[in-house]
Chain A
Amino acid sequence: MADQVLDAKGLNCPLPILRAKKALKDVPAGGTLEILATDPGAVADFQAFCRTTGNDLVEHSEEGGIYKFLLRKKA
Chain B
Amino acid sequence: MSDETNGGGAIDPHTMSIIVTKGSLDWAYPPFILSTTAAAMGLDVTMFFTFYGLPLLLKDLNLKVTSLGNTAMKMPMMGGHMGMPNIVSAIPGVDRMASTMMKNLIKKKGVASIDELRELAVEADVRLIACQMTMDLFEYELEDMIDGIEIGGAATYIEVATQSHINLFI
Q: Which residues of A contact B (CB under 8 A)?
A: 10-15, 17-18, 20-21, 39, 48-49, 52-53
Contact = CB atoms under 8 A, between A and B. Distances in A.
B120 A12 contact: no
B41 A49 contact: yes
Contact of A14 (B37, B42, B109): B37
A44 B42 CA distance: 17
B30 to A, nearest CB: 11
B37 A17 contact: yes
Contacts of B36: 14, 18
Q: Is the interface of B mostly helix, strand, loop or mixed?
A: loop
A11 B37 CA distance: 14
A18 B40 contact: yes
B94 interface: no
B110 A15 contact: yes
Nearest to B35: A14
Contacts of A21: 40-41
A33 B132 CA distance: 43
A11 B117 CA distance: 13
Contacts of A14: 33, 36-37, 40, 112
Given A14-B33, A18-B120, A49 B40 contact: yes
A49 to B, nearest CB: 6
Interface in B119-137: 120
The 3 closest A-B pairs by CB, nearest first: A21-B40, A14-B37, A12-B111
B168 to A, nearest CB: 16
Given A39-B110, A49-B41, 14 more contacts: A11-B110, A12-B112, A13-B33, A13-B111, A14-B36, A14-B40, A15-B110, A18-B112, A20-B40, A21-B40, A48-B41, A52-B41, A53-B41, A53-B42
A11 B40 CA distance: 16
A12 B40 CA distance: 15
26 contacts: A10-B110, A11-B110, A12-B109, A12-B111, A12-B112, A13-B33, A13-B111, A14-B33, A14-B37, A14-B40, A14-B112, A15-B110, A15-B112, A17-B37, A17-B40, A17-B41, A18-B40, A18-B112, A20-B40, A21-B40, A48-B41, A49-B40, A49-B41, A52-B41, A52-B42, A53-B42
